[in-house]
Structure 1
Amino acid sequence: MTTYSVSELNRLVAKILDDHPLLANIQVNGEISGGKLYPSGHFYFSLKDENSSVNCVMFRSNYNRIKFIPKNGDKVTVKAKASIYEVAGRFQLLVNSMEPQGIGDLYQQFELLKKELANQGYFSENNKKQLPELPNLIGVVTSSEGAVIKDIINVLRRRFPGFKMHFVPVAVQGFGAAEQIADAIELLNFRNQVDVIIIARGGGSIEDLWAFNEKVVADAIFNSQIPIISAVGHETDYTIADFCADLRAPTPSAAAELVVPEKRMLLENIQFEREKLIKSLQRQLFNAKQTLDYLMERSVFKNPRSLIDQQKKLIVELSGRLEREIKHQTNYHKRQITFLYNNLQALNPFSILERGYAYIESSEKTTIDSVNKISSGQKINIHWSDGKASAEINEITYKRKI
């Protein structure tokens, strides 16, 4: 019988574990217990069930790749290599990856639906619709709670003051959320008032974002006649809605950046084109005058008299044609400038007020654009183009939704 030292014994057991093909890559379910993340970035914990436990370590490089923060009591599935800590002779698992139990099924569902929809052409570039350069009315489908809708409004207000938006509030996670999102897209298509639709929510786990991975949402996006921008989660999050949409934005704020240009830049471009037009006309007039002056000084116009008269008639004819053309060009470009100016005026919210409309604010200075945002007895302020008035809500009548 061979006699081993403790170190030799531990090395022998470590070699046996290393060489065993089953234990080199094993998947284990269990509950995290005694977990601790050390300053080194390594995560030490035990994995237990109702009868046993095993020590585990997840080194920093592997820990940084998981998409959630593990905590005691979490039920997880790990992929690991069986090993022994030779110094103490302690059996342990070297964990390579970790995910909450059940997440693997969701990823599998995601990949299966993604493959099915890809085969049906849902993601084809040929089915993508072009976004409007300057939408008159923007549809937004997201939650009325949280920062997403505020971020979108803030960006739109900064880039294009006076923008118009139709907001359809929906649940963005949990039971029935997918159906609400799909219904909102179909409602906006039925009304056919908006020029583009943003569907958005903030970041979260795959479970939090799952409503945007449902086929009912994919069908609504694919069948939409209105272009759709998907802005779901963070830049690293991808959903089925992202693949189906006409454009994917990495964040809700980025979607608002993409949907409208900067109004200031549009105005600067108009002014630049106007100055170019004026300079072009001035140059044409100057050249025409130079040509006329040159012709008038030539000797052929002075002698003989008959030739002079003939050339004078020609000059008069050419001058008339030139003036008419200049007048025509000037009127044409003036109409173009007036057209662009009127379009900008139509987008000015104060122009709408001057036509007899009004807008309502709460006592906290926030705009009230729906009866769902008021309550009986609430104080409100009503603004017209020439002043404002304070009022109190006495009665609320709701219009039945279509």
Structure 2
Amino acid sequence: MNSPEYITVSLLNQYLNRKFEYDPYLHHVFLSGEISNFRERPNSHQYFSLKDEHSKIKVVMFKSAYQKLKFRPEEGMKVLVRGKVTLYQPSGEYQINIDKMEPDGVGSLYQAYEQLKGKLAAEGLFDLPTRALPHFPQRIAVITSRSGAVIRDIITTANRRYPQAEIVLYPAVVQGDQAKYSLVDALKRVQRDVANYDVLIIGRGGGSIEDLWPFNEEVVVRQIAEMKLPVISSVGHETDTTLSDLVADYRAATPTAAAELATPKLVDELVSLKKQQQLLFSRINVVLRLKREGLERVNSNIVLTQPNRLFDQRTQQVDLLQQRLLKAITKRNSDLAHRTVLLKERLNKRLLQQNIANLTNQNTFLLQSLFAKMKAVLNNKKNGLGLAANKLDAISPLKIIGRGYVLANKGDRTIISVTQVKQNDLLELNFKDGIVTAEAIKIEERRNE
């Protein structure tokens, strides 16, 4: 018995490829089907699939043929194509290489999508108020596959931007017939723990419309609408839009973008705080400058710089009062003396001595009363003047100078800080017993620790 002859895989694929090439029925094949797994590649060949209810075939359309199309193919679109069936030897997979394609209506999944979208829109499910995202979230719930790249991208981005946020994964099946039940269950678990979270991210990576269909299921969409916290949807790629994206508060094109929406950038927040700190310091400096200018105006007041002028004015008032008092006393004495003379002339000789004595006593009493009143008036004036002098003396820089301090002036300004003095400036130093003119040789600013 002869032993079988074994051949290599390459030889088998070469043989099958020749069969495909020489079969005239496979050179011009006309197909109708629904586009699937389509992602447009600019300026390149296009690779996608055609399918019906039971089967799927891979499609390649070279750049030259694709550029002749008058429409843009889309996921779920039903089309009519013409092409040649070939075998790709490296993988052993057969495909149809098409050179012509035209629309033939929309696929069943796309029609179901549009119908459910219209139904939910009529209910106002896509017009619910948008809930604001917390600026500094503490805990973020994530619903996605445990093993996919989505959760890794979200954790990496959140740790880079805002490491204080805690990411908690609620794993779910995101593809297949059981995915909608798994997603609803995960959403309900988050809802039960809603008090522990600030925001929810739900999503998955890219795929065909069939792969993303669980996020178009009515039960999933309605459960997202019932959530009690802000929801960010990140399903598929930027060109994919699911009903979950429409009902969520926010939509992100990628998992990274979703994490960026949910978290602040710590560096930017620190820069913002630094700017606010600088603004606060600037306003404080303005207030201090205004207060300092007010203090300088007070210090330059004549009451403080030349208190003797106030004493001079009061002294002149006292002198004037003394002069008036002396004139009044003199006039009073003169009037009394004149009356005494008149009375003496009128008195009889026998009563002259007695009248003179009486008048003398009266005059003495009046003089005593007058001097007592004059003394009381002078004492009151002196007491008032003493109180005023004490008040001025308490705030007078001369008193401070008398204890060994010096009042420094530059021109008509009082120096209160070394920042007002430049090297070689001439300063006027006021001592208690004189004035010294000095030159600033060295300036050393003492910093407060």
Q: TM-score, normalised by structure 2?
A: 0.49
Do the aligned residues in 2 keep the contact of 1:151 with 1:253 (CA within 8 Å)? yes
2:102 corresponds to which letter in structure 1?
Answer: N
Listed as ranges, the matches of 1:340-379 within 5 Å are: none
Do the aligned residues in 2 keep the contact of 1:66 with 1:98 (CA within 8 Å)? no
3-state SS in 2 of match to 1:267: helix
Change (3 A) 1:127 1:309: same
- Equivalent in the alignment of 2:131: 129
Q: CA deviation at 1:308?
A: 11
Match of 1:206 among 206, 209, 225: 209
Do the aligned residues in 2 keep the contact of 1:195 with 1:226 (CA within 8 Å)? yes
- Equivalent in the alignment of 1:60: 66
2:281 corresponds to which letter in structure 1?
Answer: I
State the number of aligned residues: 251
Q: CA deviation at 1:130?
A: 1.3
- Equivalent in the alignment of 1:217: 220
Match of 2:102 among 96, 101, 107: 96
Compare 232-241 and 181-190 and name the one that shifted more. 181-190
Structure 1 residue 165 and structure 2 residue 167: aligned?
yes
Q: Partners of 1:120 and 1:217 in 2: how far apart?
A: 16
- Equivalent in the alignment of 1:79: 80
Q: CA deviation at 1:66?
A: 3.6
Match of 2:115 among 89, 112, 116: 112
1:271 corresponds to which letter in structure 2?
Answer: K
Q: CA deviation at 1:68?
A: 7.0
Q: CA deviation at 1:114?
A: 0.2
Do the aligned residues in 1 keep the contact of 2:139 with 2:198 (CA within 8 Å)? yes
Q: Partners of 2:185 and 2:122 in 1: how far apart?
A: 25
Q: CA deviation at 1:185?
A: 1.6
Q: Of Structure 1 and Structure 2, which has the larger fraction of its residues in helix? A: 2
Do the aligned residues in 2 keep the contact of 1:166 with 1:194 (CA within 8 Å)? no
- Equivalent in the alignment of 2:302: 299
Q: CA deviation at 1:78?
A: 2.8
Q: Partners of 1:215 and 1:174 in 2: how far apart?
A: 15
Q: CA deviation at 1:298?
A: 1.9
Do the aligned residues in 1 keep the contact of 2:141 with 2:197 (CA within 8 Å)? yes
- Equivalent in the alignment of 1:264: 267
3-state SS in 1 of match to 2:256: helix
- Equivalent in the alignment of 1:156: 158
Change (3 A) 1:30 1:203: closer
Q: Partners of 1:226 and 1:266 in 2: how far apart?
A: 24
1:191 corresponds to which letter in structure 2?
Answer: D
3-state SS in 2 of match to 1:199: strand
Q: CA deviation at 1:31?
A: 11
Q: CA deviation at 1:262?
A: 0.7
Do the aligned residues in 2 keep the contact of 1:137 with 1:196 (CA within 8 Å)? yes
Q: Partners of 2:104 and 2:32 in 1: how far apart?
A: 10
3-state SS in 1 of match to 2:135: coil
Q: Partners of 1:273 and 1:31 in 2: how far apart?
A: 58
Structure 1 residue 179 and structure 2 residue 181: aligned?
yes
Match of 2:238 among 223, 235, 238: 235
Compare 148-157 and 180-189 and name the one that shifted more. 180-189
Change (3 A) 1:272 1:243: same
1:371-394 per-residue CA deviation (whole Å, 9 max, x = no partner) reads xxxxxxxxxxxxxxxxxxxxxxxx
Q: TM-score, normalised by structure 1?
A: 0.55
3-state SS in 2 of match to 1:135: coil
2:168 corresponds to which letter in structure 1?
Answer: H
Q: CA deviation at 1:280?
A: 2.5
Do the aligned residues in 1 keep the contact of 2:142 with 2:201 (CA within 8 Å)? yes
Q: CA deviation at 1:40?
A: 9.2
Do the aligned residues in 2 keep the contact of 1:182 with 1:217 (CA within 8 Å)? yes
1:56-91 per-residue CA deviation (whole Å, 9 max, x = no partner) reads x9931339944579xxxxxx953369xxxxxxxxxx
Do the aligned residues in 1 keep the contact of 2:139 with 2:165 (CA within 8 Å)? yes
Change (3 A) 1:264 1:30: closer
Q: Percent identity?
A: 36
- Equivalent in the alignment of 2:192: 190
Do the aligned residues in 1 keep the contact of 2:138 with 2:164 (CA within 8 Å)? no
- Equivalent in the alignment of 2:93: none
- The CA RMSD over aligned residues, in Å, is 3.8
Do the aligned residues in 2 keep the contact of 1:198 with 1:231 (CA within 8 Å)? yes
3-state SS in 2 of match to 1:123: helix
**5+ unaligned residues in a row in structure 2: which ranges?**
1-29, 36-42, 52-60, 83-97, 312-387, 396-449
Q: CA deviation at 1:30?
A: 6.8
Q: CA deviation at 1:28?
A: 6.0
1:79 corresponds to which letter in structure 2?
Answer: L
